[in-house]
Structure 1
Amino acid sequence: MQIDIPLSRRGLFIGTAQAFAAIALAGPGAAAEVLPKMTVTRDPNCGCCGNWVKHIKAAGFPIDVVEIDDVMPFKAKLGVPEALMSCHTAEIGGYVIEGHVPAEAVKRLLVERPKAIGIAFPGMPIGSPGMEVPGQAPQSYEIAIFSAGKQHVFARYRGLQQV
């Protein structure tokens, strides 16, 4: 059975308004998530960096990878504190992401948009993205949020799970 509905400007306007309202009320998960491009700078000889990039890509982030032999001056130029430096550095949405930070923490940073340079953790705990070891229980770790001269805990994780 086909129903013919005459199309008028008013009907089109009301229908469009209803569609936008439905999308807005459904929340951010209703539409396809559009994530900004991430640029990852890494040492070409580091295998765990490649595994972290795979984790980030699987979470939906478009990525460019830049490989340089000496990443330390680059990190310092971006404002990463020496105590938080790790094996790879990413830039996204005006922030720096240092180390094996889970994709969900990056997404949270991009949603909350705090005043900071970025988030980081310098270690390579088992179970963090890119450091998964079959048969090994994931370790706990803290992600720091940092700005010039200060830092504090942004999130705590055990493997890929926030705790």
Structure 2
Amino acid sequence: MQSCHLARNRDGHLFVGHVPVRHVLEYLADPPRGARGLSVPAMPVGTPGMEQGDQFDPYSVMLLTDGEPEVFAKVATAKEQEV
């Protein structure tokens, strides 16, 4: 679940990697029980900050918990990242 960036809000929730604002806001509006944050592992092409023209690699936003990570959202197109 590692990536190049790490942020923590004042409540201790972690956001790792190039997590789209759309999903950060969705998470913060109603954090799932037992959740610790979100991660976009590695640096998929097309994620916020990793744009390469119209290239895009679909990816999953992962929910970090005390157990195994779970898929929070699947992002299949760049449009799905927009707020």
TM-score under structure 2 length normalisation: 0.83
Cα shift at 1:94:
2.9
Tell me the residue number matched to 2:74: 156
Count of matched residue pairs? 78
Pairing 1:147–2:65 present: yes
SS at match of 1:109: helix
Q: CA RMSD in A?
A: 1.5
State how far apart, in whole Å, the 2-side matches of 1:159 and 1:139 are.
9
Kindly indicate whether structure 1 or structure 2 has the higher relative contact order, using CA contacts under 8 Å at least 6 residues apart. 2
Tell me the residue number matched to 2:29: 111
Post-superposition Cα deviations, 1:67-96, rounded to whole Å, max 9, x if no partner, equal xxxxxxxxxxxxxxxxx0100101124310
Post-superposition Cα deviations, 1:99-143, rounded to whole Å, max 9, x if no partner, equal 000000000000112121111021211110000012x32220001
Structure 1: 5+ residue stretches without partners: 1-83
> What is the identity percentage for the equivalent residue pairs of Structure 1 and Structure 2?
36
Pairing 1:90–2:10 present: no
Q: Determine which structure has more spread, i.e. the larger CA radius of gyration.
A: 1
Tell me the residue number matched to 1:130: 49
Q: Which has the higher helix share?
A: 1
State how far apart, in whole Å, the 2-side matches of 1:118 and 1:160 are.
23
Structure 2: 5+ residue stretches without partners: none
SS at match of 1:117: strand
Cα shift at 1:149:
2.2
SS at match of 1:150: coil
4+ residue stretches of structure 1 with deviation over 4 A? none
TM-score under structure 1 length normalisation: 0.45
